[in-house]
Structure 1
Amino acid sequence: MTGRRGFLAGAAGLAVLGLAPPARAEGTMYGLIGKMTAHAGRRDELTAVLLEGLGRMPGCLSYVVAHDPEDADAIWVTEVWTDAASHQASLQTPEVRAAIQKGRPLIADFSDAVTTTPVGGVGLGAPAGHG
């Protein structure tokens, strides 16, 4: 998990902003959706950092990086974790810390960052209570 979510550090950029995720009930999935804007003309470079090392990340169920079709410099990241603790733990790994340093200079802005409580979906298993 070198750069890909390492730099983004899960929090769709929230980690780089220093914002802690809100408390979640134990056993619920934890989601993040965030928009970041690369410095002009550097979106592909930032995307490469986000997608680097898509290896195994304990607790990460989904991590999607998408380009905004209406903004040539914007990227949306959507993440789903087994729980908030798994996400938080990932932020402490040396790979994530190194990736944050690599990606941070490419970012002009973070916006529209939200946390969610996923309940199910393709690849995520059955909704809570529908086991």
Structure 2
Amino acid sequence: MAMRVNRRVVTAGLAGLASLGLAPPVRARLKETSMYGLIGKMTALPGQRDALTEILLESLGTMPGCLSYIVAHDPADETAIWVTEVWTDEASHRASLQIPEVKEAIRRGMPLIATFDDVKVTAPVGGAGLAQQ
């Protein structure tokens, strides 16, 4: 009789073991991609988070190579915004900074930003809602 394994239970168990430093090393066989990702936190000036969020969400359809661009409010901090980006490659991200609409959004948004906190570069390999490259 075949045993049925619940993927969520296994994942939760491995996550629990990993948090205790007890998980065995796991090597997933992932297709190498050239996707480029960024996860960053910015802090808006007090009372400016909604206005900054609106600017960040404008003109998203004009960024060639952008596979995912998510703007999220931090529920624990009324001034914090997290931005998660996935691009086909790093060159596409760099090129996006020269798009007139993006340059204008940066110009308008900068005065509303108090700080850029933590920015991490990632190497996305896939996920829900993200087309495989």
Q: TM-score range by the shorter chain?
A: 0.7 to 0.9
TM-score by structure 2 length?
A: 0.72
How many residues are aligned here?
102
Unaligned runs of 5+ in 1: 1-25
Structure scoring higher RCO (CA < 8 A, sep ≥ 6) equals 1
Runs of at least 4 residues of structure 1 off by over 3 A?
A: none
2:70 maps to amino acid? V
- Partner amino acid, structure 2, of 1:68: D
CA RMSD of aligned residues (A): 1.6
Distance apart, 1:93 and its partner CA:
1.4
Q: Specify the alignment match of 2:14 in structure 1.
A: none
Question: Could you tell me which of 69, 75, 85 is aligned with 2:81?
Answer: 75
Aligned counterpart, 1:60: 66
Is residue 40 from structure 1 mapped to residue 46 from structure 2 by the alignment? yes
The sequence identity of aligned pairs, in percent, is: 69
| Stretches of structure 2 lacking an aligned partner (at least 5 in a row) | 1-31
Shift in CA distance, 56/93, structure 1 to aligned 2, threshold 3 Å = closer
Higher helix share: 2
Whole-Å separation in 2 of the counterparts to 1:62 and 1:95: 18
Give CA deviations for 1:37-80 in whole Å, capped at 9, x if unaligned.
00011100100100112224210000000000000000000000
State the one-letter code of the partner of 1:52.
Answer: E
